Structure 1
Amino acid sequence: MVNSVHVVKALSAYTQVGAGLRTEVVMVASETPMRERILAAARTELTLVGPAALSMRAVAREVGVTVGALYRYFKNRDELLTELIVEAYESLGEAVDAGIAQVWEANGEARGTSGWVAAGLAARRWGTARPHEFLLLYGTPVIGYDAPQRTIGSASRVIVALVGIVVAAREAGFALPAGTYAVDTSDAALAEDFARIRAWLVEMGFAAAAPRVAVEDIFLTIRSWTELLGTISFEIAGHYRNSVESGRPYLEQVLRAQARALGLP
């Protein structure tokens, strides 16, 4: 997880905090549905105080209504936070899907390295444009907040997109490279994890491919997904400062290395 002190310092490079943001939210057109106005105000509060300090009272003040009026739309802070999280996951997932679709439209092919790179760079574009929301999803957990089941489907969109690229490559006959690290599943708990993930593949629409997906495919895809999100988080939070300052080309190299390890065409 990212260090909160570093996050606050790093995000100053992305957001101008102060009266300007507050004024912008207050000036939302009066005809905008109240629920949307509340969510817009809550997103602005995220940039000002972070998710842990998000309060219904502050959001109500931004919208210009009483706290009681706010509770007509969201029963508590956690419900509001959940809505922000689901919306952010969906928006990120849409951005990744669009990145893959763009490759498909350009050359009719998204199962290989080009689609993989496009997906990862799309995730970075979204994260660097909306750093507070990215760190809401992948940064330090909010103490006391327990994400409900309804967030799971939205949270799975990026990994489902990556799995789809790997599965399509396997179905097209592209296998893992010779000499790929053989995953040791002698640990019963780890073997159970992989079995659970294989069952999840069926639930996500990969029923035909799931039995043929190697443990190494699962391992490498999850490792790559984690590395993708971690690399973006490190850039946003400023952990690469004075080292890797060229975020996009660096991430592209990471993605290409991942694609080669996965044997993508």
Structure 2
Amino acid sequence: MTDTMKISSIKELYSTDEFNFWAYKEYSLLPEEKFFIETFLDKSLKTLEAGTGGGRIVSSMHKIGFKDLYAFDYVSDFIEIAKNKNNFNNICFSVDNAISLNYKDGEFEQLLYLQQVISLIEDEAGRYNAFQEAYRILKKGGTAIFSLLNFDSRVTSPLYTLYLAYLRILRKFCNVNRSIQYLPQLKYAGEINLESLLDKPPYLYWYRLEEAYQIIQSANFKIVALGSDFQVSQGRMHTSLETLKQAPNQGMLYFVCTK
């Protein structure tokens, strides 16, 4: 099991076994990733993947015909691994941070923020900056796809309901004023993280549906499709918040946006 005793941030987490877990994944696109990429993206357009890790998604995109591909991660060792695996140098990888990007205004026609990249950012201002930066680097008329951890889905699970009740009591007892939407990571490198029972950092931020919708809109994006893993499994996204609120909400949240 991963030693998490000294981990205090998401970035430090990737100096543990979690690094190898994400850096060397070789399987192809997950069904939900394939759905969004094939349904909403154009293979001929300049595309950026955020939080690429070892480059699994963007490399898979190249294999299915995407030509003009870029990707970044703020963990430099991930980028080194991704570059080393990119034998033909057909993807441009760089070290960058989602909250303050070095790309030019309107540089990309398509953005892919899957793997819940923004939920890994540890403060509210940083998460909002990440949405604003995504909007800045997206070309007018371009498409951005975001996935976020889904708090509303989590609270419907009986097991997680018990865990959340336990965390609330623990935080009250320890006089910790932390939103219940900040949750410890339950698994590291595919194994149960027992430190989560002690409410140890790092924390991931889990969004409520309406909260995420409002924040994305406040960053000036136009939301054209939204849903959860349930909608992806049905192959049909919603076009309005109101209709989605009446539908099953399970798994991750997804937003397809334009500028």
User: Please, what TM-score do these two structures have when normalized by structure 2?
Assistant: 0.28
Q: Going by fraction, where is strand more abundant, 1 or 2?
A: 2
Which structure's CA Rg is the greater one?
Answer: 1
User: Please, what TM-score do these two structures have when normalized by structure 1?
Assistant: 0.28
Q: Going by fraction, where is helix more abundant, 1 or 2?
A: 1
- Identify the structure with bigger relative contact order (alpha carbons < 8 Å, sequence gap 6+): 1
